[in-house]
Amino acid sequence: MSPTVLREGAYRFFFFSREERRAHIHVSHPTGEAKFWLDPAIEPAANYGLTPQRLATALRLILEHEDEIRAAWRRHFPG
């Protein structure tokens, strides 16, 4: 299961349910995907095909919706 947390334009932000416990979010775009750590700081963890501009846009969107994303993480991965 990979619940969608946010959709913004062509970007979809989601979690994988059976993955590592360190807080992070995945982003999908028609041109590629990326993974961002949420802790201890928001930063790229992996990039699979996103241009630097699209990666920067994804980061900006994560920062703009940080509270919403963190709340969704806590709901999806309690305790």
Task: Please report, for the chain, the start and end positions of each structural domain, with discontinuous segments joined by +.
Answer: 4-76
> In the predicted model, is pLDDT for residue 27 greater than 70?
yes
Band of residue 77 on the pLDDT scale cut at 50, 70, 90: confident
- The model carries a pTM of 0.93
Tell me the pLDDT tens digit for each residue of 43-62. 999 999 999 999 999 999 99
| pLDDT of 2 | 79
| pLDDT of 6 | 97
Residue with tokens 């928001």: 42
| pLDDT of 1 | 64
Task: Please state the rounded mean pLDDT for residues 31-43.
Answer: 97
Q: Which of 38, 16, 35 is nearest to 26 (CA)?
A: 35
